[in-house]
Amino acid sequence: MTYLVNQPTDFVDESIDGFVAANRHLVRRVHGGVVRATRTPPGQVAVVIGGGSGHYPAFAGLVGQGLAHGAAMGNVFASPSAQQIYSVAKAAASDAGVLLSFGNYAGDVLNFGIAEERLKAEGIPCRCFAVTDDVCSGPADKTSERRGIAGDLTVFRAAVWAAERGDSLEKVYDFASHANERTRSFGVAFSGCTLPGAEEPLFTVPEGRMGVGMGIHGEQGIDEVDLPSAHELGQMLADRLIEERPASIDSANSARVGVMLNGLGAVKYEELFVLYASVANRLTDAGLTIVQPEVGELVTSFEMAGVSLTLFWLDDALEKAWTAPANTPAYHRGGVPLEGVPRDASDDIQAAEEEVPAASDLSKADAAGVLKIVEAIEAKIDEQADTLGKLDAISGDGDHGIGMQKGATAALAAARSAVDKGCGAGSVLARAGDAWANEAGGTSGALWGLGLRCVGHVLGDEQSVKAPAVAQGVSEATAALRRLGGAKIGDKTMLDALQPFTDILQSEVEAGRPLREAWDKAAKAAERAANDTADLRPRIGRAKNHSDKSIGHADPGAISFAMIVSVAATHIESFHQETP
């Protein structure tokens, strides 16, 4: 459990405040995370990393000379929002562009992808790269489905080394990909972890047993075995990764490997050294040459008792990257003097107060209707947050209810503020979406934020809210979510309820039905479709690794979507002109 907490909702912000105060000589806080204390030199690609909080020293602790130029920091175990990533990238970027790198989780892929598109739209060159080192989260022939765990560090190191030697954005991306192809990790857990303010751990492991293949967000292992001795565990970890050596390595013999033995939060350093002695012997016996091993806490999961082993199969260039000097708050190698132009106040980008776009009286009147809908949604989500969390805990990490609650609360506050300032209906909805994404984080936060912004963009601030515009906005939102989220019908996600809702809403509106009638019919279809997801096996996201547990239980994202559109149906009449 976490002992030092004020309010759980303030934990991340207060943690960042303390981290920056303790490392002011190396980092600066910007909106959404931290950046190096010195500006990125002209012509150098900035490498911006990120993910959920709760993994220190990943990700903020890895910002500094020789490592990341910036880190976006989300809520506990939740992806940073696209706005946070965008802000950190803007603060770190030079004329050479930005590489965004992160672990391969649905929420991170989505939010970093949205930030990438936004940066490109502003003329900032940008690429995204997701790390896929966890051998237990996907088969060897489908490495793109694997998660990113402690092996994040090897890819980050490689990318920054390439950037600091002056490589172009495309070459930095290619070198990061090369490092990822040669990185493999395998983890085990002896106990679960507890989120700040929570009373129970996300999962438990029976005494005398060990979970195999656990994730760094509290995901349970894919198997459970009797707890081995340190010697036996060292052999198990090493043998599993030797079996997974990259295809480009003809033989394990004489290969050079960077080695990381990572503690997940509760395993003491002395224990790690006992384990590493066994690992080192096994690797040496297999004919491998160990290059500058790392033993310690590199990617943690609060107080989870567990360890992971990473092998980084080196060539000449990768070895130079792996052994290069670095100086960050949590990672030191060699002597790196601070170089570059010191930052001043102009570099500390903060979220500026947005101007109020011009709006017609009709749109301002309908903005009040948008607010009523958001109020109803917030009340419903607040009422059902615990139920959604329990449903998510069956095969996920149990944070869906909390995330939706935080997102809906933030959306309501933003909508009220926008109405008070005289925004039109489209801007009210768009600002509610931005706030939802920013506070909720993770996959659901990104999806709802993107969806609401898409609908708001189509509605605009000039015309009254009419059925064709609403149907078009929902259709465009669905298309964007499919494109950026990567889900398909039958994957057991929110899309399984969203797509039938969209299809029926569009067909009913095209048939001339009033908005309230069309929406109500579509909402009922979404509810049926959401319930039908109980029969599906999840094919993407964290739940796919525990698909058997999910059978018989509906997808929480689909259920929450159906819940929201159903409660919204009761307030559609709030608009002044709902007919086509």
Q: Any idea what the CATH number is for the domain that residue 133 is in?
A: 3.40.50.10440
Both tokens assigned to 484:
């950026």
- Note whether residue 398 is domain-resident: yes
If asked whether residues 150 and 25 sit together in one domain, one would say: yes
If asked whether residues 190 and 172 sit together in one domain, one would say: no
- Note whether residue 559 is domain-resident: yes
If asked whether residues 135 and 74 sit together in one domain, one would say: yes
> What does the pLDDT read at residue 401?
84
- Note whether residue 566 is domain-resident: yes
Range of the domain at 227: 183-194+205-314
Closest CA to 245 of 184, 186, 291: 184
If asked whether residues 383 and 451 sit together in one domain, one would say: yes
State the residue for tokens 């690797």: 283
How far is Cα 572 from Cα 81, in angstroms, rounded to an integer? 29
pLDDT band with cut points at 50, 70 and 90 for residue 253: low
Residue 275 parent element (H or E): helix 269-285
If asked whether residues 306 and 385 sit together in one domain, one would say: no
Does residue 350 carry a pLDDT above 60? Answer: no
SS3 content of the chain, % helix, strand, coil (to 5): 50, 15, 35
If asked whether residues 190 and 165 sit together in one domain, one would say: no
How far is Cα 86 from Cα 438, in angstroms, rounded to an integer? 11
Write the pLDDT tens digit of every residue in 542-560: 556 555 677 888 989 999 9
- Note whether residue 551 is domain-resident: yes
Last residue of a domain, one of 298, 314, 330: 314
User: Are 329 and 298 contacting, i.e. CB atoms less than 8 angstroms apart?
Assistant: no
pTM: 0.81
| Residue 33 region by backbone torsions, left for phi larger than 0, else alpha for psi between -120 and 50, else beta | left
If asked whether residues 425 and 511 sit together in one domain, one would say: yes
Does residue 291 carry a pLDDT above 90? Answer: yes
Distances from the Cα of 569 to the Cα of 26, 468, 517, 521, 566, angstroms = 51, 16, 9, 9, 5
First to last CA, the chain: 55
If asked whether residues 400 and 382 sit together in one domain, one would say: yes
> What does the pLDDT read at residue 578?
43
Residue 226 CB: number of other CB atoms within 10 A?
9
Q: How many domains does the chain have?
A: 3
If asked whether residues 538 and 509 sit together in one domain, one would say: yes
Write the pLDDT tens digit of every residue in 135-190: 998 888 888 889 999 999 999 999 999 999 999 999 999 999 999 999 999 999 99
Q: 73 in helix, strand or coil?
A: strand
> Which candidate in 55, 217, 400, 571 is catalytic?
217
If asked whether residues 366 and 219 sit together in one domain, one would say: no
217 is catalytic: yes
| CATH number of the domain that residue 218 is part of | 3.30.1180.20
- Note whether residue 521 is domain-resident: yes
If asked whether residues 439 and 485 sit together in one domain, one would say: yes
- Note whether residue 322 is domain-resident: no
How far is Cα 481 from Cα 474, in angstroms, rounded to an integer? 10
If asked whether residues 480 and 462 sit together in one domain, one would say: yes
- Note whether residue 107 is domain-resident: yes
- Note whether residue 94 is domain-resident: yes
